[in-house]
Amino acid sequence: MRYQIGPKAYAWPGNARLALSVVVNVEEGAEANILDGDKYPEPVDEMGISLKRTMRNHGNESNYRYGINRGAPRVMRLLAKYGIRATITGCALALERAPELTREIVHQGHEVTSHGYRWAHQFSMSEDEERAYIRKAVDSITQSTGRRPQGWLSRYLTTDNTRRLLIEEGFLYHMDDFSDDAPFWDSHAGKPIVVLPYQLDNNDMKMWSEGSYTPDQWLKYAKDNLDWALAEGEHEVNVMSIGLHLRIIGRPGRIWALEQFLSYAAERAAQPDGVWIATREEIARHFAHQVPWQA
């Protein structure tokens, strides 16, 4: 347990009171599909439909293609407009199948970290299967982007082996944690890894199903989160994550909310002691420099 009330352990660059991490998940094209050997097609999240039949769901495949065709350009334009370098949590197969988007991600200078080879669950994998899965993702992303991914985000659930395998494979940081608002160290056999927690409550998936947030509600929640964490940052070390998906936030009825949030964050980034908008790799490396690992 890391619970404590005491002096602020370290500061973000420029004495910023909050580190903001914009995370764009690129999963489209890597979802479940019988053409890729899956037993069932991907559930239709926005409609709450799950087909437990070995058949193609052509409609849902087109729903995911929308994320690449229309959602991605909208998101990428906004990131460029506000000069924000995001962390792209990319499924390796999705990046392979969308080379134009991958080239634009690299051109804009975003960090690409691993969201697995496919948008698939790891929890049922054996240790050898999971190790091979991790290595396959690393090799593919390195080939697609020209740079090895430094972090890892699983789809929902991990195994008892996941973090140890990531340490063995030389990853800098791991995102599969929701226990804190700041980075911390973990280790195995004397080798460390930065745990950089992810925030699900700010995720645009809150707008993805019937009865969920409206864009206005999502925007208000995200702004309120930023304001509270920024004020608290006078005394506490805080990281805020804003999680996005091309097929969700990239719709005309939602993209405006992202623009308003990015504008709001950029204004606060321009203020003294304000917001440091950074990639997750930058956040992890700054933490590791400020709080060196001790065995």
Q: What is the pLDDT of residues 18-41, one digit of tens each?
A: 999 999 999 999 998 999 998 988
The pLDDT of residue 50: 80
CA dihedral 240, 167, 293, 25 (to 10 degrees): -10
- Domain boundaries, position 72: 13-290
The pLDDT of residue 264: 98
In-domain check, residue 8: no
In-domain check, residue 68: yes
CATH number at residue 246: 3.20.20.370
In-domain check, residue 183: yes
The pLDDT of residue 1: 54
Scan for tokens 């991990």, then name that residue: 158
In-domain check, residue 295: no
In-domain check, residue 2: no
In-domain check, residue 136: yes
Q: Using one digit for the tens of pLDDT, what is the confidence trace for 41-52?
A: 888 777 667 878
The pLDDT of residue 5: 67
In-domain check, residue 222: yes
All residue ranges of the chain with pLDDT < 70 are 1-6, 47-48, 210-211
The count of domains in the chain is: 1
Locate 15 and state its tokens.
């004495």
Instruction: Report whether 284 contacts 151 (CB < 8 A).
Output: yes
In-domain check, residue 154: yes
The model's pTM is 0.95
The pLDDT of residue 287: 98
Distance between CA atoms of residues 180 and 207, nearest Å: 24
CA dihedral 274, 262, 84, 113 (to 10 degrees): 100
The pLDDT of residue 156: 83
The pLDDT of residue 202: 94
Scan for tokens 């998101």, then name that residue: 75
DSSP codes of every residue in 67-78: IIIIIHHHHHHH
